[in-house]
Amino acid sequence: MSEMQNAPDPQFLSVGDGDASRQIAFILREASRAEGAPTLVWLSGYRSDMSGTKAIELDRLAAEMGLACLRLDYSGHGLSGGEFRDGTISRWLEEALAVIHHANPKRIIVVGSSMGGWIALRLAQELGKHADGPKLDGMVLIAPAPDFTSELIEPHLTKKERASLEERGYFEEKSEYSPEPNIYTRALIDDGRANQVLTGIIETGCPVHILQGMKDPDVPYAHAMKLIEHLPSDDVVLTFVRDGDHRLSRPQDIERMLAAVTALVRQ
């Protein structure tokens, strides 16, 4: 599996006004032959970007099937402007919505990884409020982390981390995936409460396929089971990967993701 040689060049969209304005990078692969088919939309996780393995392989699948594919970098990520420390779920959701509306697809299948799964669920809620947006045909959520700030971070904060949040407005945590530490701000945590989805019924209006590693050290598989309880109205498939980690980027994991997307495209 490798990156397509004919990948389109990045484009940039200005999102926000005044001091909140930032340039958001996105890559749009136009459909080559599957006219009327849904556009695949990739939503990355926290501190990930559109050049990751899963995003590239989704684009490759789109190219093979003649589908359109849309990827973006949130502000403070990848090629996009803006400061990472200014990032919140609301801010990154605004950017995802802006890029999607700019691309103007009629139908979409959203693939969200980790935090991207949370943003995908919020995206579904926001799209459901307006009749003029694209129709959501399906979702593939990979190790989804909805409400991770309140569900997975806040309950486990140490006294030192709480003090850092209070005094400096953020705390740092060693990352298993980067030499740079993860940074969690008070703004991110406060905004997370305003974007909680595990508080009632989530109505996506489309089939949902969840892929979850059972050896995920960041998002326990019980979290995926809790999410399902909040999706009673949808056709939901949950696939546990017994030896899977959080990234689910091994070749066999990528194949599971691509098979789930293909099944939604062909249904």
Q: What is the domain-level CATH number for residue 89?
A: 3.40.50.1820
Residue 99 within a domain = yes
> Hey, which bits of the chain come out as E strands?
11-15, 22-29, 39-43, 69-72, 107-113, 135-142, 170-173, 182-185, 208-213, 236-241
Output the CA–CA distances (angstroms, integers) from residue 204 to 9, 19, 44, 63, 259, in the order listed: 31, 33, 19, 27, 21
pLDDT above 70: percentage of residues in the chain:
98
Question: Given this model, what pLDDT does residue 3 score?
Answer: 43
When pLDDT is cut at 50, 70 and 90, the band that residue 164 belongs to is very high
Does 128 reside within a domain? Answer: yes
Residue with tokens 């088919």: 37
Q: What integer pLDDT is reported at residue 51 of this predicted model?
A: 96
pLDDT over threshold 90, residue 2 = no
**Tokens found for residue 130:** 């307006």
Residue 100 has, within 13 A of its CA and on its CB side, a CA count of 29
82 within a domain of the structure (yes/no)? yes
- Mean pLDDT for the chain overall: 95
Residue 155 reports pLDDT greater than 90? yes
Cross-strand partners of 252: none
pLDDT of residue 233: 86
Q: Look at residue 139 and tell me if it is in a domain.
A: yes
| Cα–Cα distance, 57 to 52 (Å, whole number) | 9
pLDDT tens figures, 215-241? 999 999 999 999 999 999 889 999 999
User: Domain range holding 110?
Assistant: 11-147+200-266
How many distinct helices (H) and strands (E) make up the chain? 8, 10
pLDDT in tens, 92-101: 999 999 999 9
Q: How many domains does the chain have?
A: 1
Cβ–Cβ under 8 Å, residues 248 and 213: yes
Does any domain span residue 236? yes
SS3 94: helix
Asked if residue 214 belongs to a domain, the reply is yes
Please give the pLDDT value at position 59: 98
Confidence bin at 176 (pLDDT 50/70/90): confident
Is 188 part of a structural domain of the chain? no
